């Protein structure tokens, strides 16, 4: 087993300890992760991360890019993280509302996420009419 993967799995399996890292993957659809965001929370009482770092991958799915995954692990270790929390899948578009496209609109690039629940990937009903 890769030593770095072992270190990461060890952090994911811890039930207690601070700081905590949150990891979220984003992509144009639910198969290709082109962005990962790591937040570091110093305490469980924190509502927002103290530190936030984004990584982007254009050519290769982030989840298979060992170089970028090693960078994330290095970042987590440099911040002395004791526990990692993450979801299994991709949870939305990598573009930011109000920055990459206008507030209140959907991303024109990532049509897959339009009218879709980011946690389940299921299409939302558009309501009556």
Q: Where are the beta strands (DSSP E) in 4-112?
A: 20-26, 35-41, 51-56, 83-90
CA distance 34 to 65: 10
Strand partners, 51: 40
Q: Two tokens at 93?
A: 């578009």
Residue 7's CB is within 10 A of a number of other CB atoms, namely: 13
pLDDT digits (tens, 9 = 90+) for 27-77: 999 999 999 999 999 988 888 899 999 999 878 888 888 888 899 999 999
Say which residue, 120 or 8, is predicted with more confidence: 120
Measured between its terminal Cα atoms, the distance across the chain in Å is 55
Nearest partner of 20 among 107, 82, 99, judged by Cα: 82
Mean pLDDT of 76-95: 92
User: For residue 107, what pLDDT band results from cuts at 50, 70 and 90?
Assistant: very high
Tell me, what DSSP letter sits at residue 114? T
Domain positions in the chain are 3-113
Residue 113's CB is within 10 A of a number of other CB atoms, namely: 23
Nearest partner of 51 among 76, 82, 83, 34, judged by Cα: 76
pLDDT of 129: 45
Q: Two tokens at 106?
A: 């959907």
pTM of this structure? 0.82
């Amino acid at each position: 087993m890769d030593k770095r993967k072992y270190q990461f799995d060890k952090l994911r399996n811890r039930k207690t300890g601070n700081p905590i890292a949150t990891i979220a993957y984003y992509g144009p659809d639910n198969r290709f992760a082109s962005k990962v965001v790591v937040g570091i929370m110093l305490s469980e009482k924190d509502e927002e991360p103290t530190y936030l770092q984004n990584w982007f991958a254009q050519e290769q799915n982030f989840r298979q890019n060992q170089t970028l995954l090693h960078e994330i692990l290095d970042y987590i270790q440099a911040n002395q993280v004791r526990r990692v929390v993450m979801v299994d899948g991709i949870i939305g578009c990598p573009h930011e509302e109000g920055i990459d496209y206008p507030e209140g609109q959907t991303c024109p690039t990532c049509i897959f996420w339009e009218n879709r629940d980011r946690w389940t990937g299921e299409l939302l009903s558009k309501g009556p009419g």
